[in-house]
Amino acid sequence: MVNDLITKFLEPVHLAKSSIKIEFKKRNTIIGIFVKSADYDDLKSKNFWRIVSEIHIPEWKKTNDNKLSKIFSGSEFTRLTLAKEK
pLDDT, one tens digit per residue, over 9-57 is 998 888 988 999 999 999 999 999 999 999 999 999 999 999 999 999 9
User: Using an 8 Å Cβ cutoff, are 1 and 77 in contact?
Assistant: yes
Could you give the domains of the chain?
Answer: 3-82 (2.30.30)
Between CA 57 and CA 68 the distance in angstroms is 8
Residues 6+ apart with CB under 8 A from 61: none
Q: Is the pLDDT of residue 86 over 70?
A: no
The burial class, CB within 10 Å (0-12 / 13-18 / 19+), for 26 is exposed
Helices (H), 1-86: 3-10, 40-45, 57-63
